[in-house]
Amino acid sequence: MERLTIREIIRAVRGKLICGSQQGEISGVSIDSRTIKKGEIFFALKGERFDGHDFLQEAIDKGAKAAVISKKKKITTKIAIMNVTHTLTALQELAKFYRQKFNPVIVGITGSNGKTTTKDMLKALLLSKYRVVATSGNYNNVVGLPLTLFEISPDTEFLVLEMGTNHAGEIKRLAEISLPQMGVITNIGTTHLQFFRCISNVLSAKMELVQLLPRQGKIVLNIDDSHLRSQFKKIKREIITFGINPQADVRASNVIVNSPGEKERLSFTVHVGRDRKEFDLYCLGRYNIYNALAAISVAKQFGVSLSLMAAVLGKFKFPKLRMEKLKYGEVTIVNDAYNANPTSVKAVLSEFISSFPSQRKIVILGDMLELGRMSRKFHQEIGKIVATSPIYSLITIGEDAQFIAQAAGKWGMERNNIFSFKDKKVASRKLKELLKPKDAVLIKGSRKIGLEEVIKFLPKISIIKR
């Protein structure tokens, strides 16, 4: 991060200096007193389970150069303390101010599924020619995105931002802060319905990105997604489409999935106008072709050749907890525990079944969260799919996941092979009892469930290199 003066910060956050001097500079931004470094400014954010104001003194003791607060608090210090109405808004406004000091190409990526993989792929493609900053981990929300903006430097040529949302208006706010010139929407699915109520509201929330693009901005859309396709005529920006559809601007054809037992590989041909090139992805999950096409669509706009992109994606390391293949003795475990919603669970179940046609299959499914009043229905739908598929045993973990188990039994799955638990450690013990050599196990659930812990209780797990 480039240094900012205290005077600049006061102006950007519209703060009132209640302590200290306007003189001096800060070298970084922190919201965590545990990791703050000397010379940084501390923002006392308030969350559901914490209040940063309780850790203000700790931040000062560790060398904070300034702090932004929103509570009246007796403070004895010489550092600059600024009072604002809302500390989160202040953080966002400072990030926007900082972003406007530089002029990188900014690409915002949203969608119901595939955001992180698409972001990581695009970062890898652009790094082949440019200096790139991208969202780290799950920093894709109203706190994480502003923190990512502070990583921009004068050398930054591209900034690739993942934009997540579970409420209307959040994508709009993220775009207002970051001011992207280009956007990507991967797909629209049944996510966060507890807050969005229906899929049309999910679509509206994602389309906020389009509305905040400049007039000359470009939006990259999945032409095979019927919800996105319904918006094409309404969009007043240049549209670049990707998909399997022959009308897509960036299209995949000749998709080949390696035979079971061989190293996982997706082979396909990418067409962009008259240009075409063979690509290989070393992963499970045919839906990753869409993630690749989205990333390719953007990189092609900035002069990255298909030949160079094929070489980069052929070495691409997929994010952990996404169809990650592990070994437990002779047992294969597919760890897709990063997150879950009805759309992604259905897709992953299909891929898992087709990838292991001859093995005995065990599925461990956790709650799909934030589905609101539709939660029971969606969990029951998954239970029906499990029961009518060649799956030997089902283990569910969580309150709503029990509806998966109940539906599986109703639709004919052997009840002795269905187990429901609330405790992951107990579920892990049951899995260990069930396992036989050459079994294949799938693990999937929402992020807050943390289903990857199930396999932590199994000793001697090893990662299969892709």
Question: pTM score, two decimals?
Answer: 0.93
pLDDT digits (tens, 9 = 90+) for 407-440: 999 999 999 999 999 999 999 999 999 999 999 9
pLDDT at 461: 63
417, 423 contact by CB (below 8 A)? no
What local confidence, expressed as pLDDT, does residue 194 receive? Answer: 85
Residues of the chain with pLDDT below 50 are 466
| Whole-number Å distance between alpha carbons of 285 and 174 | 30
Structure confidence by residue, pLDDT tens digits, 258-277? 866 667 899 999 999 999 99
Tell me what pLDDT residue 404 has. 98
pLDDT at 463: 57
What is the predicted pLDDT for the residue at 357? Answer: 94
Ordered structural domains, the chain, with CATH: 4-94 (3.40.1390.10), 102-313 (3.40.1190.10), 324-463 (3.90.190.20)
